[in-house]
Amino acid sequence: MTEKIDLIYPKFLKMAKYQKKIDGKSTQCLICERKCKILKGKYGFCQSRINKEGEIYSIVYGLIPALSFNPIEKKPLYHFYPGSTAITVGTYGCNFACFWCQNYHLSKTNPIKTHQFARSDEFISPKKLIEIALKRRCKGTSISFNEPTLLFEYSVDVFKLAKQ
């Protein structure tokens, strides 16, 4: 069954930075170690990447169902700005299949099905995320809750803005 790409709000679609055309039917996603070969109209194992007419797109760009503010010590960077706070975001889907997943409600939620009831105002642009972080005086940003490469394109845009 071909997925209904038209159910996805255009704001959440972002062409994947790393992909390779295999043939006329499939394109390989190169963002994680799975290297999924995705047929047109289908999505990869993570369920956050779809082949739209021969090009791989992230369908979760700016789709941030999980957002929290955590002490930097909770991150592996506990010597980086000790005593400060980091904004942490995550999305739906995952490229792992851990039986012990603590964020199953996010990692195993199919983003395509989520878009059937997602509202366009759930979009958080990289600029808006940095504004939220600055308002809360966060010293860092992190991608978590599920495997961070799902938000690769979003992360690159967020981190560039955060550095400014």
Question: DSSP class of residue 66?
Answer: E
Q: Do residues 81 and 29 share a domain? A: no
Structural domain containing residue 19:
5-58
Are 29 and 76 contained in the same domain? no
* Number of domains within the chain: 2
Residue 63: count other Cβ atoms within 10 Å of its Cβ: 25
Band (pLDDT 50/70/90 cuts) for residue 52 is very high
Say whether pLDDT at 3 is over 90.
no
Q: Per residue in 136-145, pLDDT tens? A: 999 999 999 9
117: number of Cβ within 10 Å: 7
Same domain, 100 and 36: no
Residue 1 has a pLDDT of 41
User: What are 128's two structure tokens?
Assistant: 């808006």
Do 41 and 77 reside in the same domain of the chain?
no
Who's near 163: CB < 8 A, 6+ residues apart? none
The mean pLDDT of the chain is 89
User: Quick one: pLDDT band at residue 7, thresholds 50, 70, 90?
Assistant: confident
**What's the rounded mean pLDDT across residues 78-93?**
88
* Residue 110 and residue 71 share a domain: yes
Assess whether 117 and 139 both reside in one domain.
yes
| Rounded Cα gap, residues 148 and 90, in angstroms | 8
91 in the same domain as 122: yes
Structural tokens at position 27: 């394109």
| Domain identity same for 87 and 34 | no
pTM over 0.85: yes
116 pLDDT band, cuts 50/70/90, is low
